[in-house]
Each structure stands twice: as structure tokens, then as C-alpha cells.
Amino acid sequence: MSEIALPQRLTLLLDNSSLNGIQRWLWVLSTGGTLLDGYVIFVLGVAMPVIIAEFHIEPDVVGLIGASLVFGAVIGAGVGGPTADHLGRKKLMLADMIIICAGAAISALAKEPAVLFIGQLLVGMGVGIDFPVSSSYISEVSPKRDRDRMMVATIACQSIGMLLAAAITLVLLGHGSAQSWRLFLASEGLVALLFFVLRFSHPTVRTG
């Protein structure tokens, strides 16, 4: 054991340890991207009929806006992992929430379909960045025996995001107007902002 390098010793200690309260809390904070994935998909789906009526947009533009989250997620997932290896997991897990906040604000204030597309593209990028970064983070802070279970539980949080979005949109629809869709999209930023603030408690993890 004395001949094993310190990083390897720490890895062995982590793999052989039991899941504790701190690790469970880190898991909760790391679910932000997956939860928001379900949230933003549901919110945009509810908002689109009202957006179509307000902007009188053509079907091809509707398709582009509807696909904007997926386009952004693909871009974000492509750059998230390599960037985190250079800057560290925590910085990226904070930055992607800022990107989602910015995209949500642009979307909520959009006066034309092109701006809405850009805003939702940014939201998708933030979510896409978070997927590989938070997954790597969970694998690095979880004991080996619990790692698979924690990863699967993270994926399940997409459904929780959809349920949360359903509850919030029902409340807003009950007390809103024709402009409620702006509040729907703005709420994406509020959820991301909450995770941004809470994630400051994350320990910094770097690789390489």
C-alpha cells in the first residue's frame, strides 16, 4: 500500500467506502442538468401553441424552435467534457447554469422567432454541457458499489423535471394571460439560478 501513489490510495479509499450524507447532497446538486432537461422540454411544449398564435410563425420555423433545445444539447455535450478536463468540473457546472439563465432570459424577452430560437439554443447548450460534466463528477465522488445506482438515479431526474414543470405551468396558467409563455420560459432561468447558487458548495474536482 505504501508503494501506491497518493491519488491511487484516495481512489481505493473512495471505492471501498460507504455512501454518506455529503455524497448524497453532491448527487442532488449534480442532477441539475438532467432535471432541467425534462423541465425545459415540457415548458417549451406547453408554451409553443401560445407562441405560434402570437408570432404567427410558419410550420418550418415551429420545427426549428422545437428542435433548438436538441441542437444546443448536441453542441454543449460535444464541448462540455473536454472543457471540464481543462477548467475543472465545478467551473463548468457553474458556467452551464449561467448559460441556461442567459438563454431563459433571452427567450422570455424575445420579440421575434429568431431571438426565441437563439435563447432556447443557449438553454440546450447549458443542459448539454451539464450532462457529461455532472456524470463524470458523480462517478468521481461516489463509492464504486453505489456508482451505477447513482448514475441511473440521475437519469430518472428528467421525469422529476417534467413533473415540476407541469406543476409550475399549471399554476401560471391559472393566474396568467396570453403572455404566460414568457413566464414559463423565464422559470427555466430561476431553476438554473437555484442550482447555480447551491453548487458553490461543491468541492472542486480536476483531472489531468
Band of residue 17 on the pLDDT scale cut at 50, 70, 90: low
What's the pLDDT score for residue 32? 86
pLDDT in tens, 46-93: 999 989 988 989 889 999 998 999 999 999 988 877 777 777 777 888
In a domain, 8, yes or no: no
In a domain, 6, yes or no: no
In a domain, 134, yes or no: yes
In a domain, 43, yes or no: yes
The CATH number assigned to the domain holding 61 equals 1.20.1250.20
**Residue 184 domain boundaries:** 21-201
What's the pLDDT score for residue 22? 77
What's the number of domains the chain is made of? 1
**pLDDT score of 33 more than 90:** no
Kindly report the pTM of this predicted structure. 0.84
What's the pLDDT score for residue 128? 92
Band of residue 188 on the pLDDT scale cut at 50, 70, 90: very high
Residue 45 to residues 32, 61, 66, 141, 178, Cα–Cα distance (Å): 20, 14, 8, 35, 15
